[in-house]
Structure 1
């Protein structure tokens, strides 16, 4: 039985709130399912990690050259959506400035310190931050498990293409119900 962690990618107000700078309705739609996955993972003792996209205010960042400004430190946009409660004692909140949660952060160190082998990934955007984090997790020898009904982007075709590639080349893709069944059978544990 391998130890697992839940990684919640960028479920921040700029992505989830209708007033957010890069809001997509699909992000709001997956929030209740992500909340349920979060609750089940906590019930089964899994480590929980929130990735928080955050750019420095008034500082250059190469990523911002090709996209709309978003997730700027000091704004409400970087706050984790209030539907997903952070346990300040047990959970990790890791800020990132690139699509992958592994680039320029201590995510890999946190996972290794906790002897994690499987990473369950939910959040936004399937074609950018989810895909990049999954690819790096795979390359670092973790087993990525993406929960298909708990990830979103602004185009369902793009979402499905990336889920298909992830399933074929990088890890597992399961529904939340399939994830819960795996946890109940003890195949995924904390």
Structure 2
């Protein structure tokens, strides 16, 4: 990209819009714009929408555990994030840990060649990583709100992907803990708006 050129972004969405998200947000695209866009029109123009699963980690990283993880997880931030000032320049007060919504069926265990791990949890050694200044990977969902997560839990029960007891435990944990939404939104916006 030429200096001063327009930045373009790609989002990877591994799920179709649910009826709930369509009704409440007019689709996941708007969930992302609401969380990370400063102006919807600017975000829409610069965002390339990729509504399909691309198995990039299977080529160069390693993943495992195809069981559902539905929770708000405590993620420990590594010092490498503090040293990425060119990538995350707008961040000033970086916490040692941050809570994030998780709802997925696989875990990334190893990052692709050239990637740097930026955060981990007691569940996995890779919760967030970057590849230079071009790729930011987060295993959680900084764009999700609790209402979206509750709806996902209900959908997973109705299609028998998870059991009733699992869903009750997940909802109780989600009710008891708040995600650090502001931190994750600031981190993602800082990455997207860097120069």
> Normalising to structure 1: TM-score of the pair?
0.31
Q: Which has the higher contact order (CA 8 A, sep 6+)?
A: 1
